[in-house]
Amino acid sequence: MINENNSIKLFQNKEIRTKWDSDIEEYYFSVIDVVGVLSESKNPRKYWSVLKTRLNKEGVELATICSQLKLQASDGKMRKTDVATAKQLLRIIQSIPSPNAEPFKQWLAQLGQDRLDEIADPELAIQRARETYRKKGYTDEWIKQRENSIDIRNDLTDEWQRVGIEKGREYAILTNEITRAWSGMTTGEYKQYKGLRKENLRDNMTNLELVLNMLAEATTTELSKNENPKDFEESKEIANRGGNIAGNTRREIESNLGHSIVSKKNSKNPKLLDDK
C-alpha cells in the first residue's frame, strides 16, 4: 500500500512486515520475518527463540537490538512482535549463516534511502508501488484501478478524521459495514472466501470488485460530507447506506451477467483479476 506507516516490503519476493517511525526516520522490521528469510527455516518463530537464547548466553542484551510493536499477524489481527531497526538487525544477521546476508544488508540500506526520497518526493512512492505490482504479475489496467481505489480510500479516511472517527477499531468497524453492505460479506468473510489470511483484500479484488468497492467508499464519503454526522453511530449508518447503494448496483449488474461479481479469484494469479 502507498503512504502507510505499516506495510509489507519485499526482499526477493518474500514479505517483510515493516513500520516507519517518522520521529527517528527509520523503519522497524519484523525480526521473525527477517529470520525466516535468512534462515529459510520452516519454523522461523522457533528459530528466533533458539537464537535469542544463544545471544543471551553470549552476553548480548536483547533490549538493545530489538523491541516490540504491534504488526498485523497472519490472522489479520494486530499483535505484538519483536522488531528492530536496520542498525539493530545487523547484529542479528551476523548470527545467521545465510548466503542472503550480504544482499539483505544492501537491501536494508537502499530501503531506508528510498523512504527518505519518497518523503521528499511522494510521487516516487507511487512509482515504486506500481513497479512492485508489475513484478507480482498484475496488469497495467488493474494497477490503474488499484491506484484509484487508494485515492478514494484516502478521501474517505480524511472525511472520517474530519468528523472525529478514531483510527484503528472504529475505522475497521466502518470499513466492515461498507464491505458487508455492498458485497454481502464482512471483510473477514470476504477474505476467507478468497482463501486469504494476512493479504490485503483489495490487492485480491478483480477490476469489477474494485470498482464497486470504490463506488461504496466514494458514496459514503459524499454522504458524510453532505450530512456531517455528529458521532460514530451516525457515521456507521451512513457507511451502511453508502455500501447498500453499491450493493444495489452489484445486484443489477449480476442480473444482467447471470453470475456473481464477488469472486474467489486472488493474487495467486494476478492476471485473472483483470476480468478478461
Res. 85 pLDDT band, cuts 50 70 90? confident
Beta-carbon contacts of 27 under 8 Å, excluding residues fewer than 6 positions away, are 9, 18, 19, 20, 21, 85, 86, 111, 112, 115
pLDDT digits (tens, 9 = 90+) for 255-265: 999 999 999 99
- At residue 129, the pLDDT reads 81
CA 116 to chain centroid, in Å, comes to: 20
pLDDT digits (tens, 9 = 90+) for 172-220: 999 999 999 999 999 999 999 999 877 889 999 999 999 999 999 999 9
Lowest mean pLDDT among 13-22, 33-42, 108-117: 108-117
Q: What gap in Å lies between CA 192 and CA 118, rounded to an integer?
A: 34
Q: Are the C-beta atoms of 183 and 245 separated by less than 8 Å?
A: no
DSSP secondary structure code for residue 262 in this structure? S
Q: Delimit the domains of the chain by residue range.
A: 6-128, 139-274
Beta-carbon contacts of 193 under 8 Å, excluding residues fewer than 6 positions away, are 185, 262, 264
CA 211 to chain centroid, in Å, comes to: 19
Q: Where are the beta strands (DSSP E) in the chain?
A: 6-11, 14-21, 26-30, 67-72, 78-85
